[in-house]
Structure 1
Amino acid sequence: MSTTTAPSVPGVDPSPGETASVRTARARSAEVEALIAHDPRRFRVLTGDRPTGPLHLGHLVGTVENRVRLQDAGVDVVVVVADYQVITDRDDPGDLPAAVRDVVLDQLAAGLDPARSTIFAHSAVPALHQLLLPFLALVTVAELERNPTVKAEAVDAARRQGRGMSGLLLTYPVHQAADILAVHGNLVPVGTDQLPHLETTRTVARRFNQRFTAAQPYFAEPDALLTDTPTILGNDGEKMSKSRGNVLELRASDDATAAYFRRARTDGDRHITFDPEQRPEVANLLRLGAHFAGTTPQDLAESVGSAGAGRLKEVVTDAVVEGLRPLRARRRDLAADAPAVVADALGRGAARVNAIADATLQDVRELMRTVY
């Protein structure tokens, strides 16, 4: 049975220090959840991933489970495998075909159904990238440079590779706007840190309407669907990230999962308590264990008590292994016929998105009076 209850990780509450804009977005997100429960088919979600390697535990808890939830609720879910965006901050994209295959297999194993959701590769839809050009004319360089996510990613690229910001990275928020607006997405699942990206999309839509079709706006300004999922930490206590090498891949074996959590950082206090501020590494383990065990971090902490970090790691390992067992079994089955499975999913997706995006591009050209 499907559910439309907003996903969350136990033990997470909105921050009391949130800005007014975040509080407004959170209130609107709650309204949208109610609308989804009443009429899910009025919404089209656009979301996606950069294929820089197989998906990991942070992806599953942070985004992928929510995509499956929305699909099962009846929302039109469109997922872009953003292969063009791999080169925003790196000189070598690596084995891109293998990375795309892994991302698609992980999505399907987690429950996305190509018959109900749409999965496509960025590079397979030319109209998306043609829309980028007129959209770039609607924003200023200063606005792009102020985007906090772009600034953070630029710093990370400089730290890892000693390179300056690429033009593609600078314009990433507008490229994302093209992805969303090309398919007329009106709902985008994001964390609060990604709200500036979505605001760029809303700005592009609003300015296009004002400039070219003021009498009858063409693009809807998409809403944010906020989740309260906290940052998932890797076993080194830092944010789980492929670039840091601290991830647990969804496809990992049971033994690899156990080894991963045995190396997880904790602290010197033997008595286990849920205290995200003072004990972030322990709190992270408790959240993950509770998520897969179907309990709360507080109750899980109480069950471990004074048994110590070693026992906590065992409990979390068991919960994650059991929780991921069905997904891993499905992934093995899918991988056995990977070329055909992936080609079918991406082919279906590209056919649908090309039809929608081509029509959008034609409309945009007509509204801009560039059809001769």
Structure 2
Amino acid sequence: MNSFATVEQRSNQLAQAITQAPENYRVLTGERPTGLLHLGHYFGSIAERVRLQQAGVESFLVLADYQVIADRDSMPRVREYVYEAVVDYLAAGMDPELTTIFTHSSVPALNQLMLPFLSLVTEAELHRNPTVKAELAASGRALSGLLLTYPVHQAADILFCKGTVVPVGKDNLPHIEMTRLLARRFNERYGRVFPEPDALLTSTPEVPGLDGRKMSKSYGNAISLGMSADETARAIRRTPTDSDRRITFDPASRPGVSALLSTASLCLGETPEAIADKIGDAGSGTLKSLTTDAVNSYLSGHRQRRSEFAGDQEFLAGILRRGNERANLEAEETLGEVRTAMGTNYQF
């Protein structure tokens, strides 16, 4: 495992190289459609995807619906969440002509890569993966085979299209390292097929939910991108604060107050401390009002664009159809190279 300093240095070099020759790189990014996308997704990943797309980097965006099976309560609504995610991507500026948006379950050849990859990793290595540990703790269930092999699924997502750049936060570095490890082991055993992708570290801090914890679909503490202005106001009004009228930024002792300050900070482009100083002794009511106005103002354009796409199911289906077709072509080509390298290509 590389030290964080080494990864950070490599990320900085990669960012510079991308600005000079974006056409030399391919981005793979995405998420599991387990709920509606929220402000945490926007600031943590979507804005960066749009930036890379606009810079000229070829992008693949996977909606990893097969991986939702690990969150069994989400499956009945997975179709809704997939379509809602596409709406938010379009509203945020993702261009389906420049970014391939596809669903994991629609690309069989991608999933066929799992078998050779699983042969290259040990059970102990999977158990040590921090993502597996965190997901297991959050699930409250017994460890399933799917969850145990989750890092290998993520590796297949990246390597099927030979992605070279994966934008991630510091907490997600272990799955990039697993992907690099699997690519390296495959190449050493069978001959070079896969590049070793690099992490492009995102600088946006973790966006807190309205209760001070990480903003998460599963915690119910998120401001969804599809909320109306009134729904946003109601959600913010419900935020638990405290009786101290003096507003200060103190995440450890005042999680609710600090979460609101952090949210307003991202939307206004000011520091939480500066916003707290402006509010002073005006109390949490003023803070909630300011945060509501900041969020609604920031999302007004997104919501307007969102309304233009949301009702056209055939248009959205067409984007997924074309994205799935493109992803399947890439996956079939890569799987053909894998079969040839392994000696299991019987086409003469």
2:110 counterpart (119, 128, 132): 128
* Correspondence for 1:256: 231
Tell me how far apart the structure 2 counterparts of residues 127 and 34 of structure 1 sit (CA, whole Å): 33
Matched, 1:363 2:337: yes
Superposition CA RMSD, Å:
1.7
How far did 1:302 drift? Answer: 2.3
Contact kept in structure 2, 1:76 and 1:116, CA below 8 Å: yes
Aligned length: 346
1:141 counterpart (123, 129, 133): 123
Code of the aligned partner of 2:245: R
Tell me how far apart the structure 2 counterparts of residues 278 and 53 of structure 1 sit (CA, whole Å): 30
How far did 1:278 drift? Answer: 4.5
Code of the aligned partner of 2:279: V
How far did 1:252 drift? Answer: 0.6
* Correspondence for 2:147: 169
Q: Which deviations, in whole Å up to 9, do the C-alpha atoms of 1:294-326 show, x marking residues without a partner?
A: 333232222222222211111111011011011
- Normalising by structure 1, we get a TM-score of 0.89
Matched, 1:301 2:276: yes
Counterpart of 1:94 in 2: which secondary structure? helix
* Correspondence for 1:16: none
**Structure 1 residues 23, 280: CA separation in 2 closer, same or farther (over 3 Å shift)?**
farther
**Structure 1 residues 127, 283: CA separation in 2 closer, same or farther (over 3 Å shift)?**
same
Code of the aligned partner of 2:83: R
Code of the aligned partner of 1:81: L
* Correspondence for 1:13: none
Q: Which deviations, in whole Å up to 9, do the C-alpha atoms of 1:142-175 show, x marking residues without a partner?
A: 00011011011112212xxxx3111111111111
Counterpart of 2:75 in 1: which secondary structure? coil
Contact kept in structure 1, 2:210 and 2:221, CA below 8 Å: yes
* Correspondence for 1:32: 14
Counterpart of 1:46 in 2: which secondary structure? strand
Contact kept in structure 2, 1:48 and 1:81, CA below 8 Å: yes
Counterpart of 1:80 in 2: which secondary structure? strand
Tell me how far apart the structure 2 counterparts of residues 275 and 235 of structure 1 sit (CA, whole Å): 14
Contact kept in structure 2, 1:285 and 1:316, CA below 8 Å: yes
Contact kept in structure 2, 1:57 and 1:249, CA below 8 Å: yes
Contact kept in structure 1, 2:208 and 2:262, CA below 8 Å: no
Contact kept in structure 2, 1:138 and 1:204, CA below 8 Å: yes
**Structure 1 residues 264, 187: CA separation in 2 closer, same or farther (over 3 Å shift)?**
same
Q: Which deviations, in whole Å up to 9, do the C-alpha atoms of 1:112-136 show, x marking residues without a partner?
A: 1101111001111111001111010
- Normalising by structure 2, we get a TM-score of 0.95
Q: Which deviations, in whole Å up to 9, do the C-alpha atoms of 1:170-225 show, x marking residues without a partner?
A: 11111111111110001111111111111110000000111111xxx321111111
Counterpart of 1:118 in 2: which secondary structure? strand
Contact kept in structure 1, 2:33 and 2:78, CA below 8 Å: yes
* Correspondence for 1:336: 311
Q: Which deviations, in whole Å up to 9, do the C-alpha atoms of 1:270-289 show, x marking residues without a partner?
A: 22233445444333322221
Q: Alignment identity in percent? A: 54
How far did 1:353 drift? Answer: 1.2
Q: Which deviations, in whole Å up to 9, do the C-alpha atoms of 1:76-129 show, x marking residues without a partner?
A: 121101110100242661222212111111111111110111100111111100
How far did 1:25 drift? Answer: 1.4
Contact kept in structure 2, 1:90 and 1:157, CA below 8 Å: no
* Correspondence for 1:197: 175
* Correspondence for 2:139: 157
**Structure 1 residues 277, 103: CA separation in 2 closer, same or farther (over 3 Å shift)?**
same
Contact kept in structure 2, 1:233 and 1:281, CA below 8 Å: no
